[in-house]
Amino acid sequence: MGGAGLERDGAVGIITIDNPPVNAMSPGLPGAILARLAEAQADDAVEAVVLRGAGKGALAGADIRSFGTPWPEGEPTLRDVIAAIELSAKPVIATLAGYWLGGGLELALSCHYRVASRKTQVGQPEVALGFPPGAGGTQRLPRLAGVEAALAMIVDGTPVDAPEAAEKGILDRVIDGDLLEGAVAFAGERIAAGPPHALARERTPELRDPDIFAATRERLERRARGQRAPLACLECVELALEVPFDEGIRRERAIFEACMASAESRALRHVFFAERAVRKVPGIGKETSVRPIESAAIVGAGTMGRGIATCFANAGISVRLMDSDSQALEHAMAGIRSEYEGRVKRGRIAAADAEDRIGLIEPIETLERVAGADLVIEAVFEEMPLKEEVFRALDAVCDEGAIIASNTSYLDVNHLADIVPRRRGNVLGMHFFSPAQVMRLLEVVRTDSATLEALASVLALAKRLGKLAVVAGVCHGFIGNRMLEGYTREVRFLLEEGASPVEIDAALTAFGMAMGPCSVADLAGLDVSWRKRKADAHLRDPAKRYSAVADRLCELGRFGQKTGAGYYRYEPGSRAPVPDPEVDALIAEVAAESGIERRAIAADEIVERCLYPLVNEGARILDEGIALRASDIDIVWINGYGFPRWRGGVMHWADEVGLDAVHATIARLDESGDHWEPAPLLSRLASEGKGFADVDRAA
């Protein structure tokens, strides 16, 4: 709950809001601020008030944890504080440091003046939580910053730094040096200047570009497909121009409350906490020792190896890229260079910085030269005998204490640890997603023998690399790819049963997936999984249904975009998928061979058939302890597989649907299909009327 204190410095009353770690507005805190404001008003010696945050000075806005439970009856709210400030005859100077976000910025906007330290960030990030600002931000910000700037900040949710905020008119002064001293001096100036002390609400919002709303609406309809909050933000800012201030405030509040109650907002708030929970690994804390990783080596200069090397260079860590094939190595280095040059051309990076980063990547041709690296990542072909060979060779050359990681996406990392018994504690999996230099997700695969120190060191490194690391246990495909198998299997079955690639992709993109599965397969290349299916053919249960659709496409050389044809056809130089009658005929032929009668399949069925296998396998993964918590699975699917963030991830979405309903459908499908046996955890939770979130809490 926290509190607020009042001190006096000459004629300036200083109210300090104190609710660690980020001074969020929990119930009780607004009441405490109101009480201090009243004391300052009553004290004749106080002529101006400075309002600031304790600790690092941040005000992160409303307490997100308190959403979803009713605000305690009779307890003052942030809006009461805002009203009191606007009634104050004594000027109130918000003094910003760190992050002033959401309700924090709204509080500042209601003050007579705002000063900030140079490194402060201000923003209205509410849209990322599924609602517009609800304490007047959409009405006050356009009056201070102008409509265009306010619209961008509120609709996109991206914060701006203090100098930019000052330029936009949000801040009155940026203070270098001691912030409190500067704020008190500023207050002194305002006292000396005397009234009027203008409020944002008294101003008229300035609009320069009358087309801005139409253009933004059009952009959102494309980019934020299926979501309510970004358009709600736009509607609220439009109100600032259309209706008087107080009516704008009332209507903003109504829209805020409706959005807050939506499934979209529940999902996005879930993701906010999931992103923070994922960093917490039982047994690892501040006291866990972490090995510094100053140099790394990557074995294998294919697409993944090259991408991973780039990640290290981007983080300023020197890295050796090893491949015994000198041509492959040359090709990789040329690719890295051309990618950096592209980024220089697009203005993303300065030419000198690009050169520095390229300079951090040293191509080497022999394994002996990885000696001395603190971390070695094996990124050779996905074949166990090859990986075993590399691990044996690394055992001979690596320093004692070096961490050896495999970038495998499926294989048994415990087995790889066994190849190097004396280093077992230092072997882990680091499953990067392609393109490695772009994708934020990293599955850190924890072997049975990995030490906490090795795990903590890799997690700390992941943070330096800017990755969102999710710890996964060892199993075939870990979290993400293990779940993916059921998804792609059902796509093929649905094709045989009568759905076209276009229908499947449309159903899933309408659900919110970033791309449809047939388009994804064409982009990634169908040959990779074909090779894997052929290698694993002996493991397949011949009694179970198997679809040959994808194999048959590959037999025709249709490997996807790279060959100009896969599930779709592609015109030369184009990435736009064109439906192909040849594919329709091939699918019909495969279906006939298997005696499948084809039928029209509705979008809802496509979504359930494709996504429920994810839920079912996710339940097994959670039950087996492969994932530490259900929300970690959500993080994997949102960041690695294009699952819509605003649906909260696979497991949260299933909770929203209701596990009893999900279970009932899976049980029904199990009666006629042979891949649908409900996971025991799913059955149990469904029968108990619980959700996956209940398992999280128990963990």
Are 128 and 107 in contact by the 8 Å Cβ rule? The answer is no
* Cβ proximity to ligand 3H9, 81 vs 450, nearer residue: 81
Stretch that binds ligand 3H9, among 61-69, 145-153, 331-339, 363-371 (CB under 6 A): 61-69
| Residue in 12, 15, 60, 200 binding ligand 3H9, rule: CB under 6 A | 60
Q: Would residue 126 show up in a list of annotated catalytic residues for this protein?
A: yes
Q: Is 340 helix (H, G, I), strand (E, B) or coil?
A: helix
Measured CA to CA, the distance from residue 86 to residue 198 in angstroms comes to 10
Cβ count within 10 A of residue 3: 16
Residue closest to ligand 3H9, measured at CB: 102
Containing 174, the helix (H) or strand (E) segment is: strand 173-175
| Residue in 2, 9, 11, 22 binding ligand 3H9, rule: CB under 6 A | 22
> Cβ 57 to ligand 3H9, closest distance in Å?
11
* Cβ proximity to ligand 3H9, 68 vs 689, nearer residue: 68
> Cβ 577 to ligand 3H9, closest distance in Å?
37
DSSP code string of 119-168: T-EEE-GGGGGTS--SSSHHHHHHHHH-HHHHHHHHHH---EEHHHHHHH
Are 560 and 530 in contact by the 8 Å Cβ rule? The answer is no
- CA dist 390 to 177, 307, 316, 325, Å? 55, 19, 26, 14
Q: What angle do CA 290, 291, 297 make, to 5 degrees?
A: 135
65-104 residues near ligand 3H9, rule: CB under 6 A: 65, 78, 99, 101-103
Cβ count within 10 A of residue 221: 11
> Cβ 271 to ligand 3H9, closest distance in Å?
12
Q: Is the dihedral angle over the CA atoms 412, 414, 415, 420 positive or is it negative?
A: positive
Stretch that binds ligand 3H9, among 18-26, 170-178, 187-195, 262-270 (CB under 6 A): 18-26
| Residue in 30, 31, 53, 61 binding ligand 3H9, rule: CB under 6 A | 61
* Cβ proximity to ligand 3H9, 80 vs 694, nearer residue: 80
> Cβ 266 to ligand 3H9, closest distance in Å?
14
> Cβ 85 to ligand 3H9, closest distance in Å?
15
Q: Given 3-state DSSP classes, what are the helix, strand and coil percentages for the chain, each rounded to the nearest 5? A: 55, 15, 35
618-622, long-range: CB within 8 Å, 24+ apart, which pairs? 618/483, 618/650, 618/651, 618/654, 618/692, 619/679, 619/680, 619/681, 619/682, 619/685, 619/692, 620/679, 620/681, 621/475, 621/479, 621/482, 621/483, 622/651, 622/681, 622/692, 622/695
- What's the gap between Cα 128 and its chain centre? 10
> Cβ 122 to ligand 3H9, closest distance in Å?
11
Stretch that binds ligand 3H9, among 40-48, 56-64, 321-329, 537-545 (CB under 6 A): 56-64
96-155 residues near ligand 3H9, rule: CB under 6 A: 99, 101-103, 106, 125-126, 129, 133-135, 137
Cβ count within 10 A of residue 197: 18
> Cβ 227 to ligand 3H9, closest distance in Å?
16
Are 91 and 190 in contact by the 8 Å Cβ rule? The answer is yes
* Cβ proximity to ligand 3H9, 16 vs 77, nearer residue: 77
| Residue in 21, 421, 572, 625 binding ligand 3H9, rule: CB under 6 A | 21
* Cβ proximity to ligand 3H9, 62 vs 455, nearer residue: 62
Site string for ligand 3H9, 268-307 (x = CB under 6 A): --------x-------------------------------
* Cβ proximity to ligand 3H9, 225 vs 280, nearer residue: 280
Cβ count within 10 A of residue 208: 9
| Residue in 64, 261, 281, 693 binding ligand 3H9, rule: CB under 6 A | 64
Question: Active-site residue among 7, 39, 73, 106?
Answer: 106
Reading the block at residue 259, the tokens are 């959005």
Backbone angles phi, psi at 28, to 5 degrees: 105, -35
> Cβ 112 to ligand 3H9, closest distance in Å?
20
Please list the residues that pair with 430 across neighbouring strands: 444
Report H helices in 282-325. Answer: 303-314
**Binding residues for ligand 3H9, total number by CB under 6 A:** 24
Q: Please name the amino acid found at residue 597.
A: E
> Cβ 492 to ligand 3H9, closest distance in Å?
41
* Cβ proximity to ligand 3H9, 51 vs 332, nearer residue: 51
Are 61 and 24 in contact by the 8 Å Cβ rule? The answer is yes
Question: Active-site residue among 39, 86, 126, 617?
Answer: 126
| Burial class (CB within 10 angstroms; exposed 0-12, middle 13-18, buried 19+) of 663 | buried
| Binding of ligand 3H9 by 29 (CB under 6 A) | no
* Cβ proximity to ligand 3H9, 155 vs 332, nearer residue: 155
| Residue in 6, 12, 17, 24 binding ligand 3H9, rule: CB under 6 A | 24
Are 679 and 655 in contact by the 8 Å Cβ rule? The answer is no
Q: Please name the amino acid found at residue 15.
A: I
| Burial class (CB within 10 angstroms; exposed 0-12, middle 13-18, buried 19+) of 540 | exposed
DSSP designation for 370: G
Containing 51, the helix (H) or strand (E) segment is: strand 48-53
* Cβ proximity to ligand 3H9, 139 vs 426, nearer residue: 139
HSE-CB at 660 with a 13 A cutoff on CA atoms is 4
* Cβ proximity to ligand 3H9, 131 vs 641, nearer residue: 131
* Cβ proximity to ligand 3H9, 103 vs 477, nearer residue: 103
> Cβ 561 to ligand 3H9, closest distance in Å?
37
Q: Would residue 382 show up in a list of annotated catalytic residues for this protein?
A: no
| Residue in 17, 32, 49, 62 binding ligand 3H9, rule: CB under 6 A | 62
Q: Site residues (CB under 6 A) for ligand 3H9?
A: 21-22, 24, 58, 60-65, 78, 99, 101-103, 106, 125-126, 129, 133-135, 137, 276
Residues catalogued as catalytic? 106, 126
